[in-house]
Copies of this chain bind each other. A is one copy, B any other.
Amino acid sequence: MADFYNICLDIGGTKVLGAIFDKNDKIIYRLKKKTKEGGDNSDSVEKVIISVVEEMINESGINKKDVRAIGVGAPGVVDSGKGVVLFSPNLPWRNYDIKTPIEKKFGVPFMIGNDVNVGVLGEYKYGAARGFKNVVGFFVGTGMGGGLILNGKLFTGNEFKAAEYGHMILDPEGPLCNCGQRGCLEAFSSKKGMSAYILQQASRGRETMLAENIENGVFKSKALKKALAANDEVTVEAVDRACHYLAVATGNMINTISPDVVIYGGGVIEAVGDIFLKKILKEVDKYCMPSIRPTVKLKTAELGDDSVIYGALSMIK
């Protein structure tokens, strides 16, 4: 069999991760770069995809003709069938057909899906959820993403909007979430939610080393890890609260779906997943039905930052 390659991208609001996979699914080239500020010019991110893919082909030295397919995970509501981004909170795309121009440019099949959906698919095909059939994934980052594998297939619901666990309401009187609701999981357990708690406590005069590391309402996962290692009291409280609500949300998803496995991924889990999983496991039994609990496993993701690019590979294979 002649050599061929698949090119996969994870496009975030601030950065793009890229990988070239060979025919044996080995990564032979990697790229990481900042997403240009897109403003409201909706084709600028398409230009980023094209320039990144071209750069990867050139820098890696592979032959352009040997590229077999391109797969992308991107934030927002994505119609995977049509290759159209319907809405993206952090990128300037609205009902934007990304498939047509990319396929025209490179002459190969192109697939795009919601980044967290695709990340959970990656864990299902190559990571912590291999061999399971029904998978619930929570991805803890700036926000809180979700993904759902049912009967071995990515489930995206009506109009590709399923698995928004981050906006499951756990306390109707709770803190305001970016989405406009109150007491969403994201408002407690994401970087944004934890940062808000830390800033609130700091504003009450409490000392915390993490407060000064919060920029634009969010800390970096590394700073969280450092503050936890230093046993910073307010940080520990924020994490306890985050894990408490993650345990409740996990219980709710277990009762609702009765999955085989629940996977925790994303930047926060990559940095301090062991601490999160331990705290969640300590509480989750209280929040799911005793008859269902023994049939579900809870695990941290295995692919780290690569969940989405492996998921993109799964889509195009």
- Residues in A lying within 8 Å of B, measured CB to CB: 77, 87, 133-134, 146, 148, 150-151, 155-165, 167-172, 179-181, 244, 248, 251-253, 255-260, 286-292, 295-296
Q: Is the CB of B158 within 8 A of A296?
A: yes
Q: Is the CB of B248 within 8 A of A287?
A: no
Q: Is the CB of B258 within 8 A of A256?
A: no
Q: Is the CB of B172 within 8 A of A248?
A: yes
Q: How far is the CA of A248 from the CA of B169 in the complex (A)?
A: 7
* Chain B residues in 8 Å Cβ range of A244: 172
Copies of this chain assembled into the complex: 2
Q: Is the CB of B291 within 8 A of A255?
A: no
Known: A292-B164, A295-B158. Is A169-B256 also a contact (CB below 8 A)?
no
Nearest B residue to A167 by beta-carbon distance? B255
| Interface SS of chain A | loop
* Chain B residues in 8 Å Cβ range of A181: 251, 286-289
Known: A169-B248, A170-B169. Is A77-B290 also a contact (CB below 8 A)?
no
* Chain B residues in 8 Å Cβ range of A159: 258, 292, 295
Nearest B residue to A172 by beta-carbon distance? B248
* Chain B residues in 8 Å Cβ range of A168: 252, 255-256
Q: How far is the CA of A156 from the CA of B260 in the complex (A)?
A: 12
A192 CB to nearest chain B CB (Å): 16
State which of B165, B171, B256, B296 has its C-beta within 8 Å of the C-beta of A165: B256
State which of B77, B155, B248, B296 has its C-beta within 8 Å of the C-beta of A150: B155
